[in-house]
Amino acid sequence: MKKLAFTAVIALLFFASCKDKPKKLQVEKVVPKVEEVKKDTIQKQVLAPQPIEKPADKYFLISGSFLKEEQAETYKSELETQGYPAQVVQRSWGPNSEYFRVAMYGYHEKGDAYADLSKAQQEGKVVWLLVK
């Protein structure tokens, strides 16, 4: 019986000493904190678009030539009422530089000028090409 009592005491001590048994750890789910990223944090220097300068017109489709500037301006106004972007052109050099020419159109490309000259002549308009 002593053996049984001794075994019971040891078993009791064994179970009593297990009170400090570690509990199961509860694992909390850690959600990473998401920070919003600011868009375009680097400032970009915006340059204003530079207007492309169109070269000055060199070829003109002439429909009238006058000695007096007033007459040229009157004819220019008539062409503008018909829808043409007319302009008065005067050369500062060369033969007949004293004349004021009224141009129906102005061009900076030779090919465009000759194409429209041909088209206008086929339509029966009396026009010629001035190279300034």
Local structure of residue 50 (DSSP, 8 states): P
Tokens of 125: 């308009």
Q: Hey, what are 104's tokens? A: 């129906």
Q: Provide the pairing of β-strand 100-107 with 128-131.
A: unpaired
Residue 18 scores a pLDDT above 60: no
pLDDT digits (tens, 9 = 90+) for 59-109: 999 999 999 999 999 999 999 999 999 999 988 888 888 999 999 999 999
In CATH terms, is domain 59-131 a member of 3.30.70.1070? yes
Residue type at 92 in one-letter notation: S
Read off the tokens for 100. Answer: 């004021």
DSSP assigned state of 101 = E
- 46 vs 84 pLDDT, higher one: 84
**Order of strands, sheet of 100-107, starting from the edge strand that comes earlier in the sequence:** 87-89, 100-107, 59-66, 128-131
Tell whether the model's pLDDT for residue 51 goes beyond 70: yes
CB 75 within 8 A of CB 102: yes
Domain residues of the chain, as ranges? 59-131
Provide the pLDDT confidence category of residue 118 given band limits of 50, 70 and 90. Answer: very high
